[in-house]
Structure 1
Amino acid sequence: MSDIINHEVMDYIRNLLPPRDELFLEMEREAKEKIIPIVEPEIGHFLYWLAKTKGSSRVLEIGTAMGYSTLWLAKAVMPQGGKITTIEINRPRYEMASKYFSRAGVEKEINLVFGDAREILFDLPGPYDFIFLDAAKGKYVEFLSKCIDILEPGGLLIAEDVFMRGMVITGDIDKRRNKTAMLRLRDYLKIVSSHPQLNTVVIPIGDGLAISTKT
C-alpha cells in the first residue's frame, strides 16, 4: 500500500469489514509469507460489493495470482449462476489458485487459464459484464482496446494498482525499470478518463482503482 493513502483511514475501513472466511485468512497469510501480490481485504470486499450490486454474471479477470480476488468475485456472482474466466501466466501461482478453487468448491464454475494474457485475451469472444484488470501494469494500455471490445454496454472495467505505490502520483520511482510502467499507467488513466466509450472514476482505496463503465 502506498504512502499516498492514509494508513489510519485504511486501517479503520479494514476494521469495519465483515469477518472473513478462514480460507481468505489463510490465503492472506500465505501471500504475506511468500510475498505474493494480492488485493487488500477492503479491495476484495469492494470487488464483491460491485459485482453483487451490478448483478454481474460473466466475469473476466486478467491476473489471477493465487486466486484471492477471484474468490471474492466468485462469492458475488456464483450464487446466481455466474461464471468467471481468469488468466495467470505464472505456473506456481496458477497451481496455487487451482488448489484454492478446489478447496472452495468452485473449480467447476471458474475457467482458470494458464498462459500469457497478451495472447489469450485476443482470442476471447466475450461479452463480459465485469472485467478486473490486475496484470503487469505496463500492459494495461495494450489490453484496453480488447477489454472495451468484449465488455458489454453498461459493463464494468476495474483496473487495480493504478497508483503503483504512489509512483504514478509523485513521479518518484524506486527502480529504473519501473519508470516505463509508471508512465504507461499515467497514459492508461488519461485514456480511460477521456475515452468516448467509457465513464471513469479513480478511487484512492488500496493502491488506487480506476473504475470504468462502458457507455
Structure 2
Amino acid sequence: MSGIIQPEVQQYIRNLLPPRTGIFKEMEQEARDKIIPIVEPEVGHLLYWLALTKQSCRVLEIGTAIGYSTLWLARAVLPRGGQITTMEINRPRFEAAQRYFKKAGVADKIKLILGDARELLFELTEPYDFIFLDAAKGKYIEFLDKCVELLQPGGIMVAEDVFMRGMVISGQIDKRRNKTAVTRLRSYLEMVMEHPKLETIIIPVGDGVTISTRK
C-alpha cells in the first residue's frame, strides 16, 4: 500500500466498492502471502469503469503479474466480444496468471505472452483503444512513444504506480537502486503531461495513476 492518501479515506472508499469474492479475493490473498505487486482494488475498479464507459474492445496490458488487473479489465471488455493482450516477463507470475485465467473461464479470450516488454511491445503494430502500463517503472519513458503510436485516437492509456510509494513526491528514496526509477518516473510525468498527442490527468488513487487520452 502506498500511503499517498490517508488510510481512513482509502479504507472508506474500499469499503464502498462491490465485495470482491471468489477469484478476486483469492488473488488478493496470494498477492499478500507472496508479496506480489497487484493494483489496489480501487484501481482495479477504476480500470473496469474506464474500459466499461469507453466501451473498450482492444486492450493491451504491459505487466500482467498474476492477472488481477487483467480480470478487472476482462469484466468490462470480454462480454462485448473484446480482446485483451497482456505480457509478463516473470515465469512464475505468468504461470499463476494462466491458472487464474483458466479458473475464471477466460483463458481462451486473453492472449497472455511470456517475455520482455522491451522486445514484445515494439513488435506490435495493430491499434488498441485501451492500454494499461504497469511494468518496471524505470521503463515507462522507454515505452511511452510506442504506446502512443499503438493507441487509437480517443483511446485511453493508464499508467500505474506513478508515485512509487510516495518517493516521486517526497524525494525520499528507500533504496539506492530506486533512485533511477524515481528520476525516470518524474520525467515520465512531465513528458506525458506535455505530450502533444495526449491529454492527461494525474489521480492520487492507489499509488498514483495517470489517465491519458489520445487527441
TM-score, normalised relative to structure 2? 0.99
Output one character per residue of 1:160-203: Cα deviation in whole Å (capped at 9) or x when no partner: 00000000001110000000000000000000101110000000
Compute the displacement of 1:19 (Å): 1.6
- 1:154 match: 154
**1:169 matched residue in structure 2:** 169
- CA distance in 2: counterparts of 1:196 and 1:79, whole angstroms: 34
Report Cα offsets for 1:19-64 as digits up to 9, x if no partner.
2231100000011001100001111111000100000000000000
Q: Name the counterpart of 2:27.
A: 27
Aligned to 1:145: 145
Question: What's the counterpart of residue 52 of structure 1?
Answer: 52
Contact 1:88–1:117 (CA under 8 A) maintained in structure 2: yes
- How far apart in 2 are the matches of 1:209 and 1:135? 13
Query: Structure 1 vs Structure 2: percent identity of aligned residues?
Result: 69
What SS does structure 1 have at the residue aligned with 2:46? helix
Unaligned runs of 5+ in 1: none
Write the mapping of 1:179-194 to structure 2, written as runs, cut at 5 A: 179-194=179-194
- Checking the alignment, whether the CA contact within 8 Å between 1:156 and 1:212 is kept in structure 2 is yes
Structure-2 separation of matches of 1:4 and 1:161 = 11
- Equivalent residue letter for 1:89: I
Give the Cα–Cα distance (whole angstroms) in 1 for the partners of residues 138 and 29 of structure 2: 28
Match of 1:135 in 2: 135
Give the whole-Å Cα distance in 2 for the aligned partners of 1:143 and 1:159.
Answer: 11
Q: Secondary structure at the match of 1:108?
A: helix
| Residue of structure 2 equivalent to 1:17 | 17
* Structure 2 gap ranges (5+): none
Number of residue pairs aligned between Structure 1 and Structure 2: 215
Partners of 1:134 and 1:17 in 2: how far apart?
A: 22
Contact 1:126 1:151 survives alignment (8 Å) = no
Indicate if the aligned counterparts of 2:59 and 2:85 stay in contact, CA closer than 8 A.
yes
> Within 1, Cα distance between the matches of 2:43 and 2:200?
17
The offset of 1:6, in angstroms, is 1.2
Give the letter aligned to residue 203 of structure 2.
I
4+ runs deviating over 4 angstroms: none
